[in-house]
Amino acid sequence: MAANPPTPQQIRDDLALRRQKVVSEMGSPERIDRQHARGRLTIRERLDRLFDPGSFREIGTFAVSEVPEVRDRTPGDGKIGGWGAIDGRPAAAAGDDVTVLHGSSSVVGGKRMKRIYEQALRQGVPYIYFGETGGARLPDALGSEGFSKIPPGLEMGRRRRRIPLATAIVGESFGGSSFHSAFSDFTVQVRGSALNVSSPRVIEIATGEKISLQDLGGVDIHLDLTGQIDQAADDEDDAIDQMKQFLSYLPSNCWETPPIRAGYDQADPDPALADLVPSRRQRAYDMHRVIRRIVDDGEMLELKPRFGRSLITALARIGGHSVGILASNPMFNAGALDPNTCDKATQFVCMCEAFNIPTIWLQDVPGFIVGSQPEHARLLHKAIMFLEALALMTVPRITVVMRKAFGLAYFSLSGASMDNALVTAWPGAEISFMDPGVGVNVVHARDITEAADSDAERQHLIDQWTLGHEPWGAAGIMNLDEIIDPADTRRWLLEAVQRFPITPPRRGETKELASWPTCV
């Protein structure tokens, strides 16, 4: 006699039990305990902390490996994700599940991630990734059949910054999750984790080089040397908070403008602002203090703070509006631009352009750094790439020359005649071809002075280097819109942001710079 078919309630109960087992046990309770013993969260715990309570909906809960022999021990197939809300705004997120075969990349896990990402793109919401994977799964990826099934994600390469992409490196990351970070607009790395393409063991076998995991791809390596992360985090909660802060400055997609916070349209004069900037151009000062007096509540999120340190790139708000700030930092190389600052600035302005964020440029720059090292580090090409990005920008650019701006760096940092929305200067600021002190030495050494007809003519030529650098001349021929009282800097910036609204592209269209690589 045939058994009775299950009732609808039995079917629902079975579904609930299956889901509860997958969610609670993951790879195994022992592996969950092992993850906690290392001071790390599971991917589901990370997603719970990222999304607003009760808003997370998982996609692909019952996925398993396509390899029959391991299906019973690959719940989720090493990847977990779905969608929910972050501070009330919809978003999608995913990450590696190290309780299942070290979170290794596989066919079904890859299909699951692709599906979640494509849904985020279709919906027009940010996509967040938690990276902690051991790379491609072996032996599945060996041989032509297995290896050809797990290509790097072309869909990420076609993103064109239509939606924001953020990555948190929360453990040892090789392969796929490292690729995610390079595609991202914002990458935060937790201390103690590692971000690499290959492991130290693979490098030793291939080349004989011995190097530790931290020396290869630890936080300090990427903060100081490679610039491949935007911020470091003390722990996973800190990383999640930073990603939320980053997303708060951005719209949900490139067809919208960033949200505006109400109640910040005041701009009282700040006479103390000028006191932060020494009148002697050779004296250094902390530009961060200047920025904090200009932006709302003194809050900003600096990106790549220890890479290309002579230029500060940060997200902040002025009058409740999101702005991207590029500011000279005289504490390092006197604020001179170099190859790393060009890379850093190019990446930053591409992101601001793609997500409709106006930019503020605070100049105190002596020029580009000179020497064989920057020349051999492709300063020429990097400077021109930066200049080309500037030429293609359409979001408003508002510039303040605070103390000095010499040489090509003046124009590279959105100086006069660069299609700005507004260009201003503080009184006493110096603008010229080069620092007058350097110019005198150059003129003395050049053949041009030898061609002068008299000592008087030669002296006149020298005087041209030492006189006329203040902004009144540029203002007189309308190459500056205005010379402003330093105390009124915030008011000028706030009114400019309000005066020059941004019109996003139509749905389905993107801007030119949105297609530039994320890792220039």
**Together in a domain, 116 and 51:** yes
pLDDT at residue 193, rounded to an integer? 96
- 90: in domain: yes
Using alpha carbons, select from 338, 327, 328, 325 the residue that is nearest to residue 386: 338
Range of the domain at 193: 8-249
Is there a single domain that holds both residue 207 and residue 307?
Answer: no
Within 8 A by CB and 6+ apart from 332, the residues are 309, 310
Residues 202, 327 share a domain: no
33 and 79 share a domain?
yes
Same-domain check for residues 221 and 337: no
Judge whether 257 lies within some domain.
no
The residues of the chain scoring below 50 in pLDDT are 439-449, 451, 465-467
84 occurs within a structural domain: yes
CATH number of the domain within which 36 lies: 3.90.226.10
One domain, residues 384 and 460: no
* Residue 344 domain-assigned (yes or no): yes
The pLDDT tens digits of the residues spanning 287-318 come to 999 999 999 999 999 999 999 999 999 999 99
* 405 and 458 both lie in a single domain: no
Q: What is the pLDDT of residue 143?
A: 58
Q: Is residue 225 part of a domain?
A: yes
Same domain, 98 and 245: yes
Do 391 and 282 belong together in one domain? yes
Domain match, 225 and 355 both: no
- Per DSSP, what are the bridge partners of residue 404? 430
Whether 99 is in a domain gets the answer yes
Domain check: are 447 and 352 in the same one? no
pLDDT for the residue 196: 93
Count the domains in the chain. 3
Please indicate, yes or no, if residue 448 is contained in any of the structural domains: yes
DSSP per-residue letters across 162-231: SS-EEEEE-SEEBTHHHHHHHH-SEEEEETT-EE-SS-HHHHHHHH-----HHHHH-HHHIIIII---SE
The pLDDT score that the predictor gives to residue 445 is 36
Same domain, 458 and 395: no
Beta-carbon count within 10 A of 237 CB: 13
pLDDT score at 385 = 95
Give me the pLDDT at residue 491, please. 96
Could you tell me if residue 517 is inside a domain? no
